[in-house]
A = this chain, B = another copy of it.
Amino acid sequence: MQLARYFPILRWGCHYQRHQAMHDLMAAVVVTCMLVPQALAYAMLSGLPPQVGLYASMLPLVAYALLGTSSTLAVGPVAVAALMTASAIAPYSAQSPALGLQAAVILASLSGMVLGLAGILRLGFLANFLSHPVIAGFMGAASLLIASSQVPVLLGLHARGDSILTLWQAILVQLGQAHPATTLFSGLALLFLLATRRYGQPLLQAAGISLYWAQVICRMAPVLLVIAGILAVQGASSWTAGVATIGRIQPGLPALALPSWHASIWQSLLMPAILISIVGYVESISIAQSLAIKRRERIHPDQELMALGAANLAASISGGQPVTGGVSRSVVNTDAGAQTPAAGLFTALGMLLASLFLTPWLRDLPMCILAASIVVSVLGVFEWHVFSHTWQRNRSDFCALLATFLLTLLVNVESGISAGVILSIAMHLYRSSRPHIAVVGQVPGTEHFRNIERHAVAVCPEVVTLRVDESLYFANARYLEQKVLEVVADQPTLKHLVLMCSAVNDLDGSALEILQLINRHLSRLGIGFHLSEVKGPVMDLLQRSHFPQQLHGHIYLTQYKAYEALSCVPASSG
């Protein structure tokens, strides 16, 4: 069983049945059809030869099927990872395409090692520090960057830019030289894709096709477009002259090899590899969990890290680019009926057959058609209303969102994500460093105690009760001390101070130190210091430090008992 924990294939493989195989095979056919053009497109987006995308869609899928815990996650090249790969290897691609390819393979290797190591060290929780606004801001910027990078391809231009601003400047300057046939092709492709996305399914259903098949056909729209594009180029060669096509794809299978050793390249790609790993992991685990819950299955985050790590190492030794779990393909895989990770194995087989037999035919595929499908897919995924939504809900979340978005868009992914994470953490720490501390009084006739500023409650001049609405730790302990000192300075009649700890979930060493300090301060003034409603784990901590023995007062089980003992409650006549 221990082995099955690290190789989940042992768990489902033993009971694999024929009817499952039929479903998996069916799903694999659908996913393969989708993956061929996507693999080519994402290789192009990364600035790599088209076969690199195909290579990244074989062995990585096998590796994930052996180690992954999701039944239906579809691994392979994805848009965001491809964009990040493009920007990481850009300095090397500029020197020579071969060096760029080497860098991509090294990046996959590094990314595999980072993910694997994170899995072994159980660091999956680190991804949680990418808060929702940071992810949203990053995805928004990434989709704009990806779409912008495809605009020159759509127009048949050679515009380049180091940043999105210089790129658009170059595009606008060269706009007059746009290639007419390419632009026409692109326009038609965009129109077709947007139309099927919007009207395809209802139209097909109106034509009497079932919902399921209508959905499948609509998802195959990019494949249909690819076929149409190839046929158009082959059939009307005079008319399509000058339309850039993929060109010769090296046929056959990848040669397995270790990535080449250039210490300086490995070193410079470490940071991008870490970022690709984090972003890829977050994308992958989110979709995997959301699909698993539908089937009431469990995803093991640390095992997922190792599976994705293995997939990237597999990509690396087979000459592929970095991979991760893709959102759209995983959804299609699930909807098409995939039952087990075997669907991934069949998809890998499908990609192998495609690489062997389809490559001569794909050479006439116009690049602008791939670009159009990239643009429509990335702009369709991102929800722009997240900006107004977040603004209405929470201003500090909005700051993190905007900072991540702008810095990712205008500077780079590293600064965008780091700024977002640091801002989120800083704002969280700021909030928890100034906890809500209320002076509470007794709701007459009850055993309840409420904020004296919000409720009509009875207070007793010699006893002040403070309720701290936060766990106490170093960043807010001194704030509590300050509040206590203010109460003491303002109330000359004070004889007892009660700290109501019903909301204190935890206490660290610094907070304990401050409680002892408050105790010393108050005992010197002859003021009693009491605690009430202390939770079990916090009480354990206090006991271990001998605080209760030092306390110039008592620890009461409930606030009411404290009030009773400090004779604030008139003795009941019963």
Contacts and interface: CB of A to CB of B under 8 A. Distances in A.
A301 B428 contact: no
Contacts of A435: 505
A481 interface: yes
A125 B434 contact: yes
A469 B431 contact: no
Interface in A358-386: none
A492 to B, nearest CB: 7
B509 A428 contact: no
Given A433-B129, A474-B132, A525-B293, A390 B485 contact: no
A447 interface: no
Residue from the set A397, A431, A508 with the largest chain B CB neighbour count within 10 Å: A508
Given A125-B434, A429-B129, A433-B128, A393 B509 contact: yes
Interface in A452-503: 469-471, 473-479, 481-482, 485-486, 488-490, 492, 503
A129 B475 CA distance: 5
A131 B431 CA distance: 17
Chain A interface helix/strand/loop/mixed: helix
Residue from the set A131, A434, A486 with the largest chain B CB neighbour count within 10 Å: A131
Contact of A428 (B133, B475, B478, B485): B475
Given A488-B296, A509-B397, A289 B481 contact: yes
A262 interface: no
B393 A436 contact: no
Contacts of A479: 125, 128
A430 B123 CA distance: 11
Interface string A281-322: 000000001101110111101000000000000000000000
Contacts of A433: 125, 128-129
A524 interface: yes
Nearest to A454: B536
B521 A290 contact: yes
A524 B293 CA distance: 9
Contacts of A355: none
A173 to B, nearest CB: 39
A96 interface: no
A108 to B, nearest CB: 26
Given A488-B293, A505-B470, A521-B290, A132 B434 contact: no
B129 A509 contact: no
Nearest to A545: B393
A485 B393 contact: no
Interface string A145-158: 00000000000000
Contact of A393 (B478, B486, B488, B544): B544
Residue from the set A128, A296, A390, A514 with the largest chain B CB neighbour count within 10 Å: A128
Interface string A209-220: 000000000000
B390 A509 contact: yes
Nearest to A401: B509
A297 to B, nearest CB: 6
Given A428-B474, A508-B397, A485 B293 contact: yes
A180 interface: no
A512 B133 CA distance: 12
A489 B521 contact: no
A424 interface: yes
A512 B393 CA distance: 10
Contacts of A414: none
Contacts of A425: 425, 429, 475
Nearest to A485: B293
Given A509-B393, A509-B394, A296 B474 contact: no
Interface in A77-99: none
A524 B296 CA distance: 11
Given A492-B296, A521-B290, A524-B294, A537 B129 contact: no
Interface string A402-441: 0000000000000000000000110011111111100000
A128 B510 CA distance: 10
Given A125-B479, A482-B289, A521-B290, A131 B510 contact: yes
A517 B294 CA distance: 12
Contacts of A508: 131, 394, 397, 428
B428 A473 contact: yes
A484 B477 CA distance: 32
B298 A485 contact: yes
Contacts of A293: 485, 488-489, 521, 524-525
24 contacts: A125-B430, A125-B479, A128-B474, A128-B479, A129-B429, A129-B433, A129-B474, A131-B510, A133-B509, A133-B510, A292-B489, A293-B488, A298-B490, A301-B482, A393-B509, A393-B512, A393-B545, A397-B510, A425-B429, A428-B474, A431-B506, A469-B505, A470-B505, A470-B506
Given A125-B433, A130-B474, A133-B509, 8 more contacts: A131-B475, A289-B481, A289-B482, A294-B521, A294-B524, A296-B525, A469-B505, A503-B503
Interface of A: 125, 127-133, 289-290, 292-294, 296-299, 301, 390, 393-394, 397, 424-425, 428-436, 469-471, 473-479, 481-482, 485-486, 488-490, 492, 503, 505-506, 508-510, 512-514, 517, 521, 524-525, 535, 537, 544-545
